[in-house]
Structure 1
């Protein structure tokens, strides 16, 4: 399969630069994966399509203020983006200017935080060891860091809180699980009041969000590993949902990747944590997920390929074409899509 088959025309004006005025007042395109039928709704109307037997699973990761600014001891400004903590106080990072950051380079940040460049990573980044001098690392970066918005968002948001889900809890992501940004506490209450169950997994969104597909053949692309965790409570909720013939509805591709990862580990679902580099593209046989909330993704991205695997390439490309025609807003702060 070729990456170019997942390209589509997207006018730049449809790339959302700011969130909708209210989270759940974004638009929602509802796609039937069986018939290909499309309906146009507001996001809060998703309740119409959910049944009491259903189970909705959210990703409760919380975005780190992972973008840090410092100076080399030898002179010169440095920008660092935290990605993965590979050992206590040691992080894989993206860094600018990367070529000038040799092994042993010392970087000074505010609030007493220091970093020493250790070596290069396989993806062109740097491994940096941070010295906190007795400080709590997360407290330090909470004071000095910025949330790392995707490069296609050119404007800083008035409220950085809009780049976190209302249920964000476990700190560790460098990008938001954006399908969840549409949910409000009020909408979650209404979902529960309808008898729809909710549960959570954690997947810390990492480098793969920023990494374009640079090969021609889909099968040759390698995903970057991301940490995930799924609890006993969520595993039991999935089993009960399947027993009662309900639908497991994932909120976002990160939830899909986590659930399908654990489904591929053993014949029986068990609570677990680890690292996943699962790459889902057409031809994949879904084992857990029956429905999907998602946003509209980049052309030729692994996310478009995952959604195409779930609902069928022709139906998804047709839905994307209609979304462009109807001027839906795309990407992180854009509108939503529900596939059932």
Structure 2
């Protein structure tokens, strides 16, 4: 689809010093930019104050996908080491992967990783990927010992410039939501980073409903839209919305309370489901290639908690579609002027629908 008319709206200057390369010591002490509906002024808060903007019966929808240690280093038969990023487990022995220096890898080459032997074959569905076959099988639990957390490229790049360690033990805990439970993501649903166990408990005590779905975040989330992309194809991701979550959503709507997505991934999953079941929401499982931009008709969410996204990103298009193009552009300008921290380890914003509907 031709996305060129929208590019100017998601172009902005992001100074490198605004990219957060490390998390704050405490999750809920990040900053929160409140973006009320209409023309009401923005409010600069601390994230823990989100308690003051939610009422009993409001529902927060989290993505419970867990980042797995997807980065591996395989040794080829000639001793050369190749870095790979596992993207998706296809079956017990096979994974879809991205391979650094892939042109130097041939189908007949053999690789080792401790007791595992591996071969890398072309992916018949997408030439950007390879299919990696392991013998014996390699599972998520094995990767907890063998692999590395795949931090976003912009964090690694900034840490290199700062002279810091590229990966720390702290990342294993903090590049993960406290609600993460189901392995499958190579990038974290970062809006949930701001919630600690203590804050979640306070929310529950206030009567805020907490529910979850699953969207396994793929590397496509980091892909920005280039001016050369005359026909842009958004990435696919796997989602699962169980029956118990659907029941919670229906009950929330029945009571006239608000459904608030924690992150763009939760938004994408919920609105995908509603595309399939617009009148009577139902459990859903499958791939989504839903591209949210422009005048997208949101059917589920009333509010959105999200981090600040890269220029030219599809995620920023989604946020503008929900909150209003000019309103979100003004919020980003405010955040830059006020020194907010951007991207995965950065601060958050809480915004409502551009039409002012909040329930």
Smaller-chain TM-score bracket: over 0.9
Give the Å deviation of 1:36.
5.3
Counting only pairs closer than 5 Å after superposition, residues 164-313 of structure 1 correspond to structure 2 as 164-216=176-228, 220-266=231-277, 267-313=279-325
> Equivalent residue for 1:37?
41
Counting only pairs closer than 5 Å after superposition, residues 50-61 of structure 1 correspond to structure 2 as 50-61=54-65
Number of aligned residue pairs: 336
SS state at 2:153 partner = coil
Give the Å deviation of 1:271.
1.1
Moved more, 150-159 or 230-239: 150-159
Q: Give a deviation string over 1:162-207, Cα, whole Å, max 9, x none.
A: 0011111001100110000110011001111111111000111002
Q: Distance in 1 between matches of 2:344 and 2:302?
A: 23
**8 Å contact kept, 2:92–2:138:** no
Moved more, 207-216 or 161-170: 207-216
> Equivalent residue for 2:347?
335
**1:298 to 1:123, Cα distance in 2 relative to 1, 3 A:** farther
Q: Normalized against structure 1, the TM-score is what?
A: 0.95
Runs of 4+ off more than 4 Å? 215-218
Gaps of at least 5 residues in structure 2 are: 160-166, 353-359
Counting only pairs closer than 5 Å after superposition, residues 86-235 of structure 1 correspond to structure 2 as 86-110=90-114, 112-120=115-123, 122=126, 124-132=128-136, 137-154=139-156, 155=159, 156-159=167-170, 160-216=172-228, 220-235=231-246
Give the Å deviation of 1:123.
5.2
Q: Distance in 1 between matches of 2:253 and 2:228?
A: 38
Give the Å deviation of 1:75.
3.3
Give the Å deviation of 1:158.
4.3
| RMSD (Å) for aligned C-alpha atoms | 1.5
Give the Å deviation of 1:24.
0.3
Gaps of at least 5 residues in structure 1 are: none
SS state at 2:270 partner = helix
